[in-house]
Every structure is written in structure tokens, then in C-alpha cells.
Amino acid sequence: MGWTGIKNGSLLKLAEEEFDVLITVDRNLSFQQHLSKFRIAVVILHAKTNRLTDLKRLSPKLLSILSQTKPGKLARVGI
């Protein structure tokens, strides 16, 4: 998307125009932004590390909650 380097608030504004859900590993995002003002759901992944092998283990849980996400709401998926 060419969004490298774009920070949280601006990233959420861009993402809400293109996507329904933003999936991130940024555990501080919910403390730094008022997610309820954005028209996008946010899912924060909590794994042992941010390595793909650890994040892949969260896939079943992630897939099960995606249909339940709502704009402006936060969901957490972790082990």
C-alpha cells in the first residue's frame, strides 16, 4: 500500500477507508488511540514473539473472531 512509516492515527484513518479490520501486533495501540472514533475494527495479536511461526499459531482464533468484529471496537487474540 506504500504506507511504510505512517503512524497510528494516520494509519487508522487510511485503513478505515480501505479495510474492515486492522490486524496488528502493536499492544500499545489501544492506549495511544481512541479506537471508537474510527470506522474500522482492530485486532491485536499477542504471541510469544512477533515471528511468523508464533503468529501463525493464532490463525484459528483469529479466523473465528473476524466475523464478530465491529467498527470502532478492539479484539485481542492470544495464546
Tens digits of pLDDT across the chain (79 residues): 888 888 878 888 999 999 999 999 988 888 888 888 999 999 999 999 999 999 999 999 999 999 999 999 999 999 6
The structure's pTM equals: 0.87
Range of the domain at 45: 8-78
Count of residues for the chain?
Answer: 79
User: From residue 16, how far is each of 13, 32, 49, 53, 79 by CA, in Å?
Assistant: 5, 17, 27, 28, 27
* 2 in any annotated domain: no
Beta strands in the chain (DSSP E): 21-24, 41-46, 74-78
* 16 in any annotated domain: yes
Number of domains composing the chain: 1
C-beta of residue 37 within 8 angstroms of C-beta of residue 68: no
* 42 in any annotated domain: yes
* 3 in any annotated domain: no
